[in-house]
Amino acid sequence: MTRRTRLAVHPLEARDAPTGLDGPAAVFGNVDRIAVKPAANAPPVISNFRAIVGPNGQVTFTGTVTDDTPVAGYVVRITGPGVDTYAIVQGDGTFSTTTVVNAVGSVTVSATTTDGGGHKSEPVYTLFTPTP
């Protein structure tokens, strides 16, 4: 003989809903006022990006990365005419890398980074003239 259990589905009442989510109310199916907390993963932001020109074409790129998650280990990609390099972001959000730039005249390079959620930063730019 098989034993069977009968289950019934009842809608939640307001007193059964979780509290403290501080999100907007949403409607799903027949259930009203379910609080949903929006995802808090914004793209990272690069600031203070600059080029420090040294002798013999050497250029040091520096800047700072901020995000809503820890930024240590993010990779900042720096590209432009005669430049294709990267820098690893430190625990305090700063990055720095030195490379030799083989270009004549003024050079504009861009820097971007991507967080663990796949959100890419807006590009930032700096202009410099490398020494021969």
Per residue in 50-90, pLDDT tens?
Answer: 999 999 999 999 999 999 999 999 999 999 999 999 999 99
Residues 34-52: pLDDT tens digits?
Answer: 555 555 689 999 999 999 9
Question: Position 97: which residue type?
Answer: T
Q: What pTM value is reported for the model?
A: 0.70
The residues, any chain, with a CB within 8 Å of residue 74's CB and separated by 6 or more, are: 44, 65, 67, 88, 89, 113, 114, 115
Q: In order of start, what are the domains of the chain with their CATH numbers?
A: 45-128 (2.60.40.10)
Q: What amino acid is encoded at 62 in this protein?
A: T
